[in-house]
Chain A
Amino acid sequence: DTGVSQNPRHKITKRGQNVTFRCDPISEHNRLYWYRQTLGQGPEFLTYFQNEAQLEKSRLLSDRFSAERPKGSFSTLEIQRTEQGDSAMYLCASSLMGGAGNTEAFFGQGTRLTVV
């Protein structure tokens, strides 16, 4: 596997339910990012990890959202008590932060969440 993998690709859930998405980054990449993209907009930054440490969270990430990267490899993004406004594409990206500061990010195909 040479790319970023996200599962599931699509998720339909009822309002009020909890959902969890998974992202498997490129294996040697130490940084992992989560973005949300709504129709007609560019991706909005949610949070990122360097190894297992969550270094920044956007104010977009309400208390209902939590992300983890327990072993510095795959990451999960959980949304509790989903609302219709959570319907969006959730994108994961990974990068290798090296000494040159190159933060070229490679993206997965995304998980499309629909809250009904």
Chain B
Amino acid sequence: GEDVEQSLFLSVREGDSSVINCTYTDSSSTYLYWYKQEPGAGLQLLTYIFSNMDMKQDQRLTVLLNKKDKHLSLRIADTQTGDSAIYFCAPGGFKTIFGAGTRLFVKA
């Protein structure tokens, strides 16, 4: 079945860049998404990339897609303490499958 894998934890200093990586098995998705979840809250759509693109930039966020390797990454520039959250990679499809998420800790 479909599988999504992410590193569980990432710790960065405020102002540095964060890179969150994801690998997936189902390559049929038209879109691939990144969601953010803060404690006790639902999921917030951060950004997405169309499957025929290699890169998408959206303000501080850069998404890179390597379809051949089934690898998706999210770079957050100038990481702020407010970016501390869990980030989920989600290859879309008729049902979105999530990994366990990457917990980003931003140290002041």
Contact = CB atoms under 8 A, between A and B. Distances in A.
Interface string A33-66: 1010000111111001000000110000000000
A33 B35 CA distance: 16
B69 to A, nearest CB: 21
Interface residues of A, number: 27
Nearest to A110: B42
B108 interface: no
The DSSP consensus for interface residues of chain B is: loop
Contact of B95 (A4, A41, A56, A110): A56
A103 B45 contact: no
A67 interface: no
22 contacts: A33-B95, A42-B4, A42-B98, A45-B95, A45-B96, A48-B94, A48-B95, A56-B94, A91-B43, A93-B43, A103-B92, A103-B93, A104-B45, A104-B48, A105-B33, A105-B45, A105-B92, A105-B96, A107-B43, A110-B41, A110-B42, A112-B40
